[in-house]
Amino acid sequence: MPMVTIDGRQIEVEPGTSIIQAADRLGVEIPRFCYHPDLRPEGNCRMCLVEVDGFARLAVACATPVADGMVVRSPHTSPQASQAVNGVLEFLLVNHPLDCPICDQAGECSLQDFYMHPDYGLHKSHVDPAEKVHKRKRIDLGPRIVLDAERCVMCSRCVRFSADVSGKAELQFIQRGNHVELMAFEDRALEDPYAGNLADVCPVGALTSRDFRFKRRVWHLEHTNSVCAGCSTGCNVRIDHFQNHIERVVPRRNPSVNSSWICDEGRLSWQAAQGGERLTQPASGGGYPPEIRWSEAVKAAHELLTDRGERPLAVLGSASATNETLLLLRRYAEQAHSEHWLDFRLAEEVQLVGEREDQLLRRRDKHPNTLGAVYLGLAGARGGLPAMLEAAQTGEIGALLLVYYPPLVGEESAGVAEGIARLLANVPRSVVLTTHRLPYLQGAALQLPVAAWSEEEGTYTNFAGTVQVVERAIIPPGMSRPATAVLADLVEHQVYRRPDADAERLFAELARTVPAYQGMDYAMLDSRTATTYPPEGRMHYGQEGFAGR
Amino acid sequence: MTNVLTRHIEQRDQARLAVALRGGAYEGLRRALKLSPAELIAEVTASGLRGRGGAGFPTGRKWSFIHPQPGQPVYLLCNADESEPGTFKDHYLLKHDPHLVLEGIAIAAHAIGAAKAYLYMRGEYASIARDVQAALQEASAAGILGDHCLGTDFSLQIEIQLGAGAYICGEETGLIQSLEGKRAYPRVRPPFPAVHGFVDQPTVVNNVETLANLSYILVEGAQAFAALGTDRSTGTKLICISGAVARPGVYEVEMGYPLLEALRREAAGVRLGRRLKAIIPGGTSVPVLTAEEAAPVMIDYESMQAAGTMLGSGGMIVFDETADMPKALLRIAEFYAHESCGECTPCREGTGWMAWVLRRLVAGEGRPGDLELLLRVGGNIEGRTICGLGDASVQPVRSFLQKFRPEFEALLPPARDAGPEWQRHGHGPRTARHGAPGDEALRSEPVDGPPDAAL
Ligand SMILES: Cc1cc2nc3c(=O)[nH]c(=O)nc-3n(C[C@H](O)[C@H](O)[C@H](O)COP(=O)(O)O)c2cc1C
Ligand code: SF4
Ligand code: SF4
Ligand code: SF4
Ligand code: FES
């Protein structure tokens, strides 16, 4: 394997690795605009120029593969490269409007980061602002993206994303020289279901997210790592929030799951979790009892579920619940005083779990944890919702504990909604743990409010069996609590001993008891160790920099 | 003088196959097809032929880089984009002796194993493209080109493609992109076209004039060709003389021919009996020569290099004593600013910036330090771009400024002028690296030497 020396430090890398990738691994900072780890290199911005021993000219680190014995000097150690990078940056500013004060990218803009950086920027302007080439601003590219052509640095990341990643090829440059301008054909609205990523790949404020624009200055945001719960793919995301309110969700790079991308539905799925009418306190028979404390609610639930005579207890989990919730749910079912019927299937989750909806990321199973439920043995012989409904109609079920999360992408299918409503109608003793006030849940004897996605910690197992951690970003509204806490309360009522409700310890138990998780350690789980780009704590090169906290 | 390229150029109806055949057309191809590709490459290498597209790269060597995987197609692209200012020789060849070019294409295709060749012509040549197409059809119908060329196993389809009028389409990777139907954004090398070229397959790009030499080399032999010209610059060169001369036009001269002699004899000297002031010897992309510098220069790669310039495309632009050099430079700079494809930062922004500065200088609105600014901007373009256009744009600026500096200085305002308002006060923060802190923000001239100066 080739051994390369960068700024005096050596590293061995796979053949075909580019200089910039080797430098990233070494932690040597090489400035860049057009390079993106998940896009084909184009070498157009010339910001990554480095000196290579034996080369007649400076080389672009992003498009030059390493060779064995190569000696590279970054701008930090090479005056020649430093001067070149200075020059390139100055060129980028010649026609840049520098409207940072009103630019939504400010604070996470590569151009701003570099020109404010004493190693690369801080030029004295030689250009009369009146002489600058002006281009179009505030161009409507549909529901996701707004284009400001004047701020564009022509790095072509968006063009490459559109052409090579999503395959829609909706963007192109027009004109020549310093009049080059990005354009969507005839300014048509982008049809790309992944268009939101364009705002992330854009290193400057040329492509901004219509959804997030002007909502919050980015330096006010707090960041929490999570995993999208929109479908079984489990794209890694970062939740950006402020004062207990989610402002946006951006992808977090994980080459083995979602590269640097997420779909637009997943990106906006937080709106489904936060929006609608949330259930904020325990409710019975569709109405809110005035003032009910959690201890009373749990006691009521316990009584509803246990006073059922000899008839069995039905427990219907959810493929949208965390593994930890499902573990406690299983424990609750197993410790029921009589026979129980445990399942989680509402419809075809298991059949759909791996099925692609398109060639990039989306899958047809709109649940984040179907495989987790299967691994926990929740797909029993007797069947899920349809079978339970049949049994309930003949009075075979004594009581029902349902954990239900409405889908974050798309609507619940009419069949499932109706099935749930009829099941609740046929089982008078029913307790539902849920996040929202939904018409088809109103038949429940008791509804308990639980935390939605982004409000609790735990793990999901995606379609490929990858276990990933979701962290808690914000506090659940009103009285709602994480389902694990509510279930722990219920188990405590059953066995007079409170189980652990802490996600990390619950996972330790999963690792001990579920064969698929043998030997796994919460602290080592994928989403925590997933490659972040660029390396933690360093400057962000556009929003794909998921520096984390 | 020996004519290699223009032997039949004045023959009436030379574009018609029957006429061309009478003059010996396709005899070179007939001989080439008797050779194996390796022998053919060896022959052309021995001739010393170098590319006439501008860089002078040895043609045989370029061909020898083609090593296709089994079953992989190879392409030959003939570059007839001819957009270098002052250059019009390919047009001349294609118009008057298209069979010479088509024959060259076929010979080169055989050498590299290409079954498909494209003749990429600039859009402005649409009218001659029709005639070349007619010649191609005639030669194909006669069994010379197309399937089983001249009755051999070798088949070659030649297709003519017109560009849409951009200088960058003459740059080999820009040409490839354009031919693929994409925006002509040059590609970063490596990989080189010999490995990943047209539709990602091994590809050779050769200039029209380069290929037009092949017939002679095959007919008369590599030795005969090598005997022409100088040691390292063999054969002849088409020169396009334009500007302040009495008889502008395309002339064929033997390599090593004295530059001023060519001016005098072929182009009938400087117009109106004026004195020669300067000459750009190889298209605007090469440094200008003053009359004194031009005196000892010969028309060959080495002599040009020794004089600090290049033979380039052979487009010679002549300036007489009345020429206004800043205006001429402005015109050239505007060309590059207009033709920069805009893909890479230094050329996209730098060419435009140089043109601006020159525009205001010529308009009498120059600012103190503008000449230094021009040179600094040029320095920040050179060697840092994707393709050669960036470097090319700097050559005229630097050489004009160096060789005709007093003319530029005369355009600057008196030193006491404080410059425009916005520049008088420091703009933005400044660090020690860019000059001393303190009162410099209030000084009148730009004080911050280039950011590079401190390094
Ligand atoms: C900006 C630019 C424009 C060019 N234009 C032409 C052109 O119009 N015709 C041409 O033959 N070569 C042109 N070239 C050179 C080609 O890239 C290439 O080197 C040449 O076609 C190779 O042919 P040769 O080896 O036969 O000289 C240009 C190069 C640059 C950088
Ligand atoms: S819009 Fe953004 S991503 Fe696209 S080319 Fe311009 S700067 Fe690059
Ligand atoms: S593809 Fe699935 S997991 Fe990924 S962002 Fe979209 S909905 Fe979320
Ligand atoms: S040097 Fe100029 S013409 Fe060449 S790729 Fe860069 S911008 Fe385009
Ligand atoms: S040229 Fe390497 S990052 Fe743009």
Distance from residue A60's CA to the centre of ligand 5 (Å): 6
**pLDDT tens, residue by residue, B51-91:** 999 999 999 999 999 999 999 999 999 999 999 999 999 99
Nearest-by-CA chain B residue for A92: B345
The dihedral region occupied by A534, where left means phi > 0, alpha psi between -120 and 50, and beta the remainder, is beta
Best B345, B389, B427 member to test A by mutation, with max A CBs in 10 Å, is B345
Q: Using one digit for the tens of pLDDT, what is the confidence trace for B309-352?
A: 999 999 999 999 999 999 999 999 999 999 999 999 999 999 99
Is pLDDT above 90 for A532? no
Domain with CATH 3.10.20.740 in chain A: 3-101
Q: Which of A178, A183, A185 to mutate to test the interface with B (most CBs of B within 10 A)?
A: A178
Reported pTM:
0.92
Between residues B264 and A532, which one has the greater pLDDT?
B264
Residue B448 pLDDT grade (very low, low, confident, very high; cuts 50, 70, 90): very low
Residue with more model confidence, B420 or B56: B56
Taking CA atoms, what residue in A is nearest to B446?
A126
CATH number of the domain residue B30 falls in: 3.40.50.11540
Provide the domain limits for residue B274.
236-321
Q: Is residue B9 part of a domain?
A: no
| B349: in domain | yes
Domain ends where: B176, B191, B226?
A: B226
How close does chain A come to B384, measured CA to CA in Å? 7
Whether A326 has a pLDDT exceeding 70, the answer reads: yes
In the predicted structure, residue B296 carries a pLDDT above the cut 80: yes
In whole angstroms, what is the distance from residue A48 CA to residue B5 CA?
A: 45
Same domain for B23 and B151?
yes
CB neighbour burial string for A341-350, b if at least 16 within 10 angstroms, e if fewer: bbbbbbbebb
Return the ∠ at Cα A226 (arms to A225 and A230), rounded to 5°: 150
For residue B7, being part of any structural domain is answered with no
| Cis preceding-peptide flag for B202 (omega within 30 of 0) | no
Q: What is the mean pLDDT of residues B134-151?
A: 98
pLDDT at A526: 54
In a domain, B231, yes or no: no
Q: Decide if B420 and A175 are in contact by the 8 Å CB cutoff.
A: no
What is the pLDDT, as a whole number, of residue A534?
39
Residue A230 has pLDDT above 80, yes or no: yes
Average pLDDT over residues A109-131: 87
In a domain, B2, yes or no: no
B141: confidence class by pLDDT, cuts 50, 70, 90 = very high
Interface confidence (ipTM) of the complex: 0.89
* Residues B350, A91: C-beta atoms closer than 8 Å: yes
User: Which of A75-79, A189-193, A535-539, B187-191 is predicted least confidently?
Assistant: A535-539
Question: Could you tell me where in chain A the CATH 3.40.50.740 domains are found?
Answer: 277-518
- Per-residue pLDDT band for A123 (boundaries 50, 70, 90) equals confident
- The answer to whether A88 contacts B345, with C-beta atoms less than 8 Å apart, is yes
Whether residues B452 and A118 touch (CB distance < 8 A) is answered with: no
> Does the distance separating the beta carbons of A127 and B353 come in below 8 Å?
yes
- Residues B118, B262 within the same domain: no
Closest CA in chain B for residue A127: B423
Asked if the model's pLDDT at residue B423 lies above 80, the reply is no
Measured in Å, residue B351 CA sits from the centre of ligand 4 at 10
Average pLDDT over residues A132-149: 96
Residues B394, B403: Cα–Cα separation, whole Å: 14
Residue B5 belongs to some domain of the structure = no
Smallest CA-to-CA distance from A486 within A443, A432, A413 is with: A432
Any CB–CB contact under 8 A between B334 and chain A?
Answer: no
Give the tens place of pLDDT for each residue, A354-400: 999 999 999 999 999 999 999 999 999 999 999 999 999 999 999 99
Q: Is B390 in the pocket of ligand 1 (CB under 6 A)?
A: no
Residues of chain A contacting B446 with CB distance shorter than 8 Å = 124, 126
Q: What is the separation of C-alpha A391 from the centre of its chain, rounded to a whole number of angstroms? A: 39
pLDDT digits (tens, 9 = 90+) for A155-203: 999 999 999 999 999 999 999 999 999 999 999 999 999 999 999 999 9
* CATH class given for the domain over A133-214: alpha beta
Of A30, A85, A77, A29, nearest to A53 (Cα)? A77
Evaluate if residue A531 carries a pLDDT over 50: no
What HEC string does A340-401 produce?
EEEECCCCCHHHHCCCECCCCCCECCCCCCHHHHHHCCCCCCCCCHHHHHHHHHCCCCCEEE
Total number of domains in chain B: 3
Judging by DSSP bridges, how do beta strands B257-258 and B298-299 pair with one another?
antiparallel
CATH of domain A277-518: 3.40.50.740
Q: Taking the alpha carbons of B426, B429, B435, B438 in that order, is the dihedral positive or negative? A: positive
Q: Do B350 and B308 belong to one domain?
A: no
Under a CB-based contact definition with an 8 Å cutoff, are residues B317 and B85 in contact?
A: yes
Above 60 in pLDDT, residue B443? no
Is A57 part of the contact surface with chain B (CB cutoff 8 Å)?
A: yes
Give the model's pLDDT for residue B183: 96
Do B247 and B381 sit in the same domain of this protein? Answer: no
Q: Flag if B339 and A177 touch (Cβ within 8 Å).
A: yes
B419 close to A (CB below 8 A): no
What's the mean pLDDT when you consider all of chain A? 92
* B347-381 pLDDT, tens digit each: 999 999 999 999 999 999 999 999 999 999 999 99
pLDDT of residue A338: 74
Q: Is there a single domain that holds both residue B186 and residue B215?
A: yes
- Checking if the pLDDT of A547 tops 80, the result is no
CA distance B180 to B162: 12
Same domain, B95 and B115: yes
| Pocket of ligand 5 from Cβ distances under 6 Å | A 32-35, 43-48, 60-62
Range(s) of chain A covered by CATH 3.30.70.20 = 133-214
Among B263, B296, B321, residue at a domain's last position: B321
CATH of the domain at B371: 1.20.1440.230
Averaged pLDDT, B185-202 = 97
pLDDT tens digits for range A377-387: 999 999 999 99
Pick the CATH number of A3-101 from 1.10.630.10, 3.40.50.10140, 3.40.190.290, 3.10.20.740: 3.10.20.740
Please check whether residues B221 and B289 belong to one and the same domain: no
Q: Does B353 touch chain A (CB under 8 A)?
A: yes
CATH number at residue B259: 3.10.20.600
Residue B419 lies in a domain: yes
Q: Are residues B289 and B411 in the same domain?
A: no
Q: Are residues B125 and B202 in the same domain?
A: yes
pLDDT by residue (tens digit) across A469-508?
999 999 999 999 999 999 999 999 988 889 999 999 999 9
Distance between CA A239 and CA A219 in Å, rounded?
A: 14
pLDDT of residue A537 exceeding 80: no
Q: Give the pLDDT band (50/70/90) at residue B452.
A: very low
- State how far Cα B187 lies from the chain centre: 18
Check whether the bond before A290 is cis (ω within 30° of 0).
Answer: no
